[in-house]
Amino acid sequence: QVLSDGSSVYRIAVITDLDKDSKTEDGKRFRSYFRKGRLTVSPEFTRVSVDWDETKDDISLLSEVSSGGRAMELSDMVVFDRNLLTVDDRTGILYKV
């Protein structure tokens, strides 16, 4: 989207790769955090800002599937066929977010 001042706005999403810290307190599940927002770039490419979508908390993605006691190491996302996908570096499982 292009604003009236010429700035460009992009929808963005970020996801965590917590490595060993992804295990939940109960030790039975693994967690990754997900957040969406907007990235705004000035027409001169001299200013950038991020505005996160209003949510009470980050979105938690949980799984009980692990490999070697680790899981939910989600470090990359792609859009494929209008779906937001991420892959667990540890287990190789592909998730639709």
| AA letter at 32 | S
Question: How far is Cα 97 from Cα 94, in angstroms, rounded to an integer?
Answer: 10
Known binding-site residue numbers for Ca(2+) = 75-76
31 within 8 A of 24, measured Cβ to Cβ: yes
Known binding-site residue numbers = 75-76
